[in-house]
Chain A
Amino acid sequence: MSNYLIIPVESGALLGGADTLKSSLTTDTTAGTPATYTLSQDDGDITTNGSGKHAVLTCVIAAGQTTLSGGAGRVGVAVGNQGYGYAVGDTITIPAGKLGGSSTEAVLTLILADVVDSAPASGEILAEVDDFANCIGNSAAEFKIQYLSGYDTSGGTPREISCVITPAESSAQALTNKLTNSISKCIMAENSQPILDLGDSKVVQVSFG
C-alpha cells in the first residue's frame, strides 16, 4: 500500500534574490528618492500586463541616486514573495510616485532568467509518505519532506523534497504545522490521495535531493 500526498506546483514565479531583476529594467525611473521600497502587486503598488499574481518587489534607490540602476540600486524579490503566473516578455510596471514623490514610471520586461518554472506539465508532484522520516519548515517560505531510505552516502545528505511557497507563512513552525496536517491526512487515507493544503499559499519551486 502506497500513500501519496499531491503537491500542486504553480509555474512562473519570479526568481528570488536581492537584485535579481535589475538587469530587466527597460525603463528606469527618474527623480526617485533614495530609500528601500516594498511594492506589492496585491496592494496596487505595481501592475503587470500578464497574468502573474502576488509578487512583492523590493527596490532600492541608493544614497545620492535618483534611479534604480544608479550606484548600489537594486530590484529584487524576496523568497516567499515571488508570486506566480509570470511569463517571459511580461512587463511589470512601477507607477510614477511609487519610488518617491517625484519619481517617474519604471518598467521591467521579464526575460528567461527572471522566471522560475519548476512545475511539471501535470502541474503537480506526488510525494510518497511510506518512507517518510520528518517534515519541516526551514523558514516561513520553504519546507522539506525527508525520507529514511536513499541516503546519499557520499555527501551525507538525506533524500528529500524541498519546496518554496508564496506567499510565505507567518513563521517556520506555522508552515511545519500545515505540512504536518496534510501529511497526517495522507497517512490516514488508505484509498485517497490528499492535496497539500497551504491555504492561500502555493508551491512555486521544487527540488529533489
Chain B
Amino acid sequence: MSNAVKIKYKDHNNYILIGTNDVLYVEQASAAVMKIWYNVFSEAGGKVMMNEVEFGVNVTAADVKALQNLIKEQNKKPGSTIPVYKLIGDDGSTDTFIDSISLDSATPTNPITP
C-alpha cells in the first residue's frame, strides 16, 4: 500500500504528490530546502534515496517537524487519505509552495530523527 502527501507546487492552486512510504526522516537542509530521506538503498556504500524540495520561502524547524508528524500520522492509516501539507505560516498570500523538487541518492548527513 502506498502513502503520499500533497504539497502546493509553484502556485497556490496546484499540488504535487510526494511518496511517503519508507521515510526515514525529514531534515532542513538549508533556509528554504527540506530533504525527505528514505530507507531505500540506491547502491552499496550507504547511499539512500532522497527527495529534495525547495520552497519559495524559508522554512523553520517547526515546519520540518510538522511534515514528519504528518507523515507519521498518515502512515497509521495507509491509503485512506492523502493529506495536504502546508507551511505553518501559509496564509495563501506568499510563496509558501514548492518551487522545485528533485529525486536523488546520497549519504544521509544527519541520520538523527528530529
Interface of A (DSSP majority class): mixed
- Complex: chain B residue closest to A189, CB-CB: B79
Q: Could you say which residues of chain B place their CB within 8 Å of the CB of A153? A: 42-43
- Pick from B1, B18, B80, B81: contact of A3, CB under 8 Å: B1
CA distance A130 to B42 in the complex (A): 17
Please tell me the number of chain B residues within 8 Å of chain A, measured between CB atoms.
31
Query: Is B51 interfacial (CB-CB < 8 Å)?
Result: yes
Give A149-173 interface residues, CB cut-off 8 Å to B.
Answer: 149, 151, 153, 156, 158, 171-173
Q: Which residues of A contact B81 (CB under 8 A)?
A: 188
Counting CB contacts under 8 A, is A176 at the interface?
A: yes
Q: Are A3 and B14 in contact (CB under 8 A)?
A: no
Q: How far is the CB of B37 from chain A (nearest CB, A)?
A: 11
Please give the distance in Å from A72's CB to the nearest CB on chain B.
Answer: 36
Can you offer 29 A-B residue contacts whose CB atoms are under 8 A? A130-B2, A130-B21, A132-B19, A134-B16, A134-B51, A136-B16, A148-B21, A148-B38, A148-B40, A148-B49, A149-B49, A151-B42, A153-B43, A156-B104, A158-B103, A171-B14, A172-B10, A173-B11, A176-B10, A176-B14, A180-B6, A180-B17, A183-B4, A184-B6, A184-B82, A187-B2, A187-B4, A188-B80, A190-B79
B interface residues with partner A (beta carbon < 8 Å)? 1-4, 6, 9-11, 13-19, 21-22, 38, 40, 42-43, 49, 51, 79-82, 101, 103-105
With A1-B1, A148-B40 known, 12 other A-B pairs at CB within 8 A are A129-B2, A131-B19, A132-B2, A132-B19, A134-B19, A146-B103, A149-B40, A177-B16, A183-B17, A184-B6, A187-B1, A188-B81
